[in-house]
Structure 1
Amino acid sequence: MRRQMTEMLKGTLEGIVLALLTRRPAYGYEITAELRERGFTDIAEGTVYALLVRIEQKGLVDVEKVPSEKGPPRKVFTLNTRGTAELDEFWTTWGFISDRIEELRKRGH
Structure 2
Amino acid sequence: MEPTAEGVLTQMRKGVLEFCVLAYLRSGPAYGLEIATELGRHETLFTSEGTLYPLLARLRKQGWVETSWQESRSGPPRRYYSLTDEGRAAVRTFAAIWTPFSDGVDAVLGKAS
Q: Does 1:98 align with 2:102?
A: yes
Unaligned runs of 5+ in 2: none
Aligned to 1:27: 31
Aligned to 2:75: 70
What is the TM-score normalised by the length of structure 1?
0.86
Distance 1:55 1:41, change over 3 A: closer
Q: What does the per-residue CA deviation read over 1:7-61, in whole Å, with 9 as the maximum and x for residues that have no partner?
A: 1001100000001111221011110010112334752112000110011111111
Q: When the two structures are aligned, how many residues end up with a matched partner? A: 108
Distance 1:18 1:67, change over 3 A: same
Task: Identify the range of structure 1 (37-46 vs 76-85) with the bigger mean alpha-carbon deviation.
Answer: 37-46
1:84, 1:8 → 2: CA distance? 22
What is the TM-score normalised by the length of structure 2?
0.84
SS at match of 1:67: strand
Q: Which amino acid aligns with 2:85?
A: T
Residues 17 and 46 of structure 2 are in contact (CA less than 8 Å); yes or no, is this contact kept in structure 1? Answer: no
Unaligned runs of 5+ in 1: none
Residues 17 and 45 of structure 2 are in contact (CA less than 8 Å); yes or no, is this contact kept in structure 1? Answer: no
Residues 21 and 35 of structure 2 are in contact (CA less than 8 Å); yes or no, is this contact kept in structure 1? Answer: yes
Paired-residue identity, %: 34
Q: Displacement, 1:103? A: 1.3
Aligned to 2:89: 85
CA RMSD of aligned residues (A): 1.8
